[in-house]
Amino acid sequence: MLEMHYYGDPVLRKKAVPVEKFDEELQGFVDELIETMEYEDGVGLAATQVGICRRIAVINATGGQEQTYVLINPEIVYSSQEKEDYDEGCLSIPGITLSVNRPSVVSVKAQDAKGQQYLIENAQGLLARALQHEIDHLNGIMFVDHVSPLQRSLINGKLKKISRAQREKSQDL
C-alpha cells in the first residue's frame, strides 16, 4: 500500500513529469496505485497523491465493476463547451465535498503501462469528471481551486486542519 499525501503537502502542487520508461518497475507502481485507490475506496488516484511526481493516474468510475483505466502521460484533447456542476471529493482532502463546474464531455489521450497509446472518446458523467480531476492533480491543481471564493471561505478551517495534520505527519518522519 502506498502512503497518501494530504492537502498542504507541497508535492500536491508540483507539476508531474512525463513517463519515458515503460518497464516492470512502472507496472509494479501502477499495480500499487490501483491497490491503494481500491483500499481508500476512491474513484481515481494520481501519482502525486502518493508523493510521486510522474504523470500517472488510475481511474475506475464503475465501483470496480469494469477494468481500471491506467493513464500514463494523459492529455485532454477535447472538452465540450457545455459544463455541469457536480459534487466532488478527493482522497487528499478527506471529509470535504464541493460542487465543481467542469466540461460535461471530454476526450483524453493516454498511454497504458506498456506504452501503448489509446483514446477515451467523449467520456461523460463520473468518468469525465474523474479524468479531469486526476489530470488536474498531475498539473498541481486541486478541486478546491475550481470553487468560488465564498465556497472556499466556508471550508477554510477544515483545509487548515488537514494541512496542519499533514505538516505534523511530515515532521514525525
Catalytic site residues?
Answer: 134
What is the distance, to the nearest Å, from the Cα of residue 130 to the centroid of all Cα atoms in its chain?
A: 7
Q: Is 102 helix (H, G, I), strand (E, B) or coil?
A: strand
Query: Which is nearest to 59 in space by CA: 78, 73, 42, 36?
Result: 42
Instruction: Supply 66's cell numbers.
Output: 469494469
Residue 131 Cα distances to 9, 63, 103, angstroms: 22, 15, 11
